[in-house]
Amino acid sequence: MRIAIRNIVACLLLALAIPAAALAASPRFQAALDALGVPLSLPPSGKAIVVNIPAFELIAFENAEPVLRSRVIVGTPWHRTPVMTTHTTSVRFRPTWRPTPSMIASGEYRDRVWPPGPNNPLGLAAVRLEEGLLVYLHDTNRRDLFDREYRALSHGCVRVQAWDALAAFVLDTDLAAIHALANGRSTTDVPTGPIPVILGYYRVFPDDAGRAVAYDDVYGLGRDGPVTGVIEKAAAGDSCGA
């Protein structure tokens, strides 16, 4: 699924070379994005989270530089993860889960509440986004699926392999504190500041070394970018359950 553009990277870098003064004035990763023509502007200070849907990857940024990269599972082409900009509101540890009406109607799940624990479809923690949006960044009870190369497998939510590192990043704490809450006895909501979350669609994106990597157009959109729209947001309203 990931095709490195080895034979044209040198030409791209030459053709889109950035003056030294510009490099000094902007963060390294933003400069790489600009050089590749990726329509993404990172906040120059503070935290941000980007999910690149075609890459099946989440990247956490601090001061416009990546501090965490994790494999993710995104929505299938018929249950798409919405392309939009939102923000974090809380982290729910040991969540319960109830299937959405469409999941129940399809016969895929019975209408019942799944108790907290490692067998819960949301796993041990879920980063919740803006109020009313049933799309989360969460752990999963199917961690084996992260080994697959093609990972458009969910109902629209974003399952995160490094869920504990993401929760620590969002809450500005350490893994020990995250694991203590995740393995506790009760469901706990911990509020977060409004960290920007971009659910984006970028078919060319820099890797850790700044090299261009191309990805398949998994949703057949024929375009790139973070697009906020009523249709896309509404489509996510029945995504993950509650």
CATH code where residue 16 lies: 2.40.440.10
Question: What is the predicted pLDDT for the residue at 208?
Answer: 86
CA distance 24 to 35: 14
Closest CA to 2 of 160, 151, 140, 199: 151
Q: What is the pTM of this model?
A: 0.85
Q: How many domains does the chain contain in total?
A: 1
CA distance 84 to 98: 24
> In angstroms, how far apart are the furthest CA atoms of the chain?
60
Residue 176 backbone phi and psi in degrees, to 5: -60, -45
Q: CB within 8 A of 162, min separation 6: which ones?
A: 58, 68, 70, 71
Stated as kind and residue range, the H or E segment containing 126 is strand 125-128
CA distance 199 to 7: 29
> What SS3 state is found at 163?
helix
Question: What is the predicted pLDDT for the residue at 164?
Answer: 98
CA distance 43 to 163: 22
Question: Domain range holding 91?
Answer: 2-238
Cβ(93)–Cβ(184) below 8 Å: yes
β-bridge pairing 188-191 and 152-154: unpaired
CA Rg value for the chain:
18
CA distance 20 to 206: 19
CA distance 66 to 64: 7
pLDDT in tens, the chain (242 residues): 444 433 333 333 333 333 443 334 458 999 999 999 999 999 999 999 999 999 999 999 999 999 999 999 999 999 999 999 999 999 999 999 999 888 898 888 899 999 999 999 999 999 999 999 999 999 999 999 999 999 999 999 999 999 999 999 999 999 999 999 999 999 999 999 999 999 999 999 999 888 999 999 999 998 776 644 333 443 444 567 77
Closest CA to 51 of 127, 141, 148: 127
> What SS3 state is found at 150?
coil
Residue 66 backbone phi and psi in degrees, to 5: -70, 135
